[in-house]
Amino acid sequence: MAVIETGAGAHATHPEHRQARTAWGLAAPALALMVLILLVPVVVAGVLSFSNYSLGNPGFDWVGAQNYERLFTRSTYEKMFIATLTYVVTVVPISVGLGLGAAMLVHSLGRIGDIYKTIYFLPVMATLLAMAIAWEFMLHPTIGMVNRTLALACGSWLEAIPFFASGCADGFPLWLGDRDYAIWVVCFIGIWQGFGFNMVLYLAGLTSVHRELYHAAEMDGAKSAWERFRLVTWPALGPTTVFVVTISCIRAFQVFDTIEAFWPQGGGPNKSAYVMMFAIFEKGVQQNLIGIGSAITMLFLVFVMFLTLIQRWLVERKVHYG
Amino acid sequence: MTRDWWKHLVLILGAIIVLAPFYMMVSYSFKSPGEIDRGEGGFFGRQEMMIDPRCVALRQPDRADIEAARDRFPGQDDAGVQAALLAETEAACSMRPAVFNYTKAFTEAPLIRYLMNGVIVTVSIFLIQIVVALPAAYALAKLKFWGREAVFGLVLFCLLIPVHAIALPLYIMLAKLGLTNTYAALVVPWTISVFGIFLMRQFFMTVPDDLIDAARMDGMSEFAIVWRVMLPTAIPALLAFAIFSIVAHWNDYFWPRIVVTGNRDLFTPPLGLREFKGDGDGSFFGPMMATATVIVTPLIVAFLIAQRRFIEGITLSGMK
């Protein structure tokens, strides 16, 4: 691309050089901030994860891999991994599945479906902390809507289900106070909040699937709706699915608001909902144990980068075109 | 339509579950504590006059009040005057539950201040993100310079780093600079949006070179081209990015929770709500739900008005 010089005063410097200088000038602020705000902290976290540094103390010692060793040996962190993985492994498939299902239903309804799209997208927009508090009231053991609704089933045929039978006899669960239920409630809210987002991504994917493909599949003998889905829709949505799964995973790893809203002091009954993000906050900020907090941070980054790299690899390797 | 009834059935059931907490939040924000406790009153509650016990406790008539009021109630003994005064106070302290909840929400905590903070923080984050990202995106898309590939590679790499994950080192850096509990702490980590650079760069790639060359012929500097040629063409992409950025930061709870400790003047709306929860006893459910409603409403209303744009904007967010 030729740069056209204007005006009489041709500068001593070569125009290409001048453009390069301007370009660096334009990119410099962004570059500086990227280094300072994103790259330096990663390095800092990496370095501190080998120390017992804490804010306000003048000195610190190098402790080698001790922080990481703790992460893999202490039962608290075992609970952290279990809670985080439970959340990710539950929320990601279900919110992706519900997102896809809702998208297919909404898509098949045409314009009338838009009302459902609007409704399902509301939780994505709403402040999660506020909604967590609303859910806390819903799940309140005595005045909550959930247990009251469940109690309506008492005395009906539903009492044949063991859950209802024991609920009607001894009261329905405490939900947030019960270590058998706590993490599942958090998962449920995570799904409630996130599947609308996946639905919208899938809807975007569905509109780009050509109608002719369905006709072609029908001619080739794909008679049932399931066959058409398996042969046309699902492969066509391949790239969307990879994208949706990755984003859902990254978001699921970052769950924090609900946990902190429900259990400000400690990540759930018996640490059953002690997720990584909460652990970073509790160890690093509240207890000022920056070494161990940094080690969790590093592990977290490794997970997320690994996921994103897998996504890129998948997208580049097998993009389907129906 | 009749063929699709089962689809509607499934979707309506889903919609009920999705809407339930919203319904409850708004409904509780209208009801009196008694109605909340007993779970009655429908959506709006009965809106019977209720007496605010805290208000009465604060205005309990004392000796001096009784002395002063004696003239107004001739022929009554002290107890009678006191009873009459108490009745007056109760009358002054009684109001409709909905009014009670919402006035409490705004008076019990400086909710207006929190909302203002929310606006200040989200708007400054967005403006700084644009000022930083737009020139960089232009340079990466339209200018040839040695090292461009390296810079773009760096952008792609930084897309992998979720800012929330590196909160701890950022917090340490800000603490070392003495910046915790300032607006700067709330804004600084978000000034760089790698995603914004990436999005804008992709958008600028589609802008024809001729447009830029023409601007150069007119004697515009590269800097002027960014703001007077590229910015106007990028409005649709910027709008999408604005929605993504504002929604993310209005709703963000994690980062403010870390860098704002105790200083109520800096609380963003979610932090304010959290504090409300901290000191509210059981009778404060109504005002708390009113606060939650006030915080959630602006974005929801904006969303309902401009759905398509919002969905585009949020969908683009991909790499949050």
Domain ranges of chain A: 69-139+175-316
**Residue in A closest to B273 by C-alpha:** A130
The reply to whether residue B139 touches residue A145, judged by beta carbons under 8 angstroms, is no
CATH of segment(s) A69-139+175-316: 1.10.3720.10
Give the pLDDT of residue B250. 94
Nearest to A143 among B39, B159, B270 (CB): B39
Kindly state the percentage of chain B with pLDDT values over 90: 41
Each residue's pLDDT tens digit, B224-250? 888 988 999 889 889 989 998 999 999
Alpha helices in B226-320 (DSSP H): 231-233, 235-251, 254-259, 269-279, 285-305, 307-316
- CATH architecture of the domain formed by B109-276: Orthogonal Bundle (1.10)
Here the ipTM equals 0.88
Query: Tell me, what's the pLDDT at B1?
Result: 54
> Among A128, A130, A301, whose Cβ lies nearest the Cβ of B165?
A301
Model confidence at B75: pLDDT above 80: no
Annotated domain spans of chain B? 4-97, 109-276
Chain B: give the shortest CA distance to residue A169, in Å. Answer: 21
Gap from B292 CA to chain A (nearest CA, Å): 5
Alpha-helix residue ranges (DSSP H) falling in chain A: 15-33, 40-48, 66-73, 75-109, 114-125, 128-138, 145-152, 162-170, 182-207, 211-219, 225-228, 234-236, 238-253, 257-262, 276-279, 290-317
Mutant choice from B1, B4, B18, B258 vs A, greatest count of A C-beta within 10 A: B18
List the single residue in A4, A108, A301 with the smallest CB-CB distance to B216: A4
pLDDT at B172: 93
CB contacts, 8 Å: A49 with chain B: none
Alpha carbon B233 to its chain's center: 29
B244, closest residue in chain A (CA to CA): A125
| pLDDT band for position A147 (cuts 50, 70, 90) | confident
Residue A12 pLDDT greater than 70, yes or no: no
Query: Three-state SS for A12?
Result: coil
DSSP class of B188: G
What are the distances in angstroms from CA B104 to CA B27, B46, B52, B283? 16, 19, 10, 12
| pLDDT at position B278 | 63
Assessment of whether the complete model's pTM goes beyond 0.95: no
pLDDT 10s digits, A176-185: 888 888 999 9
Distance from CA of A1 to the nearest CA of B (A): 9
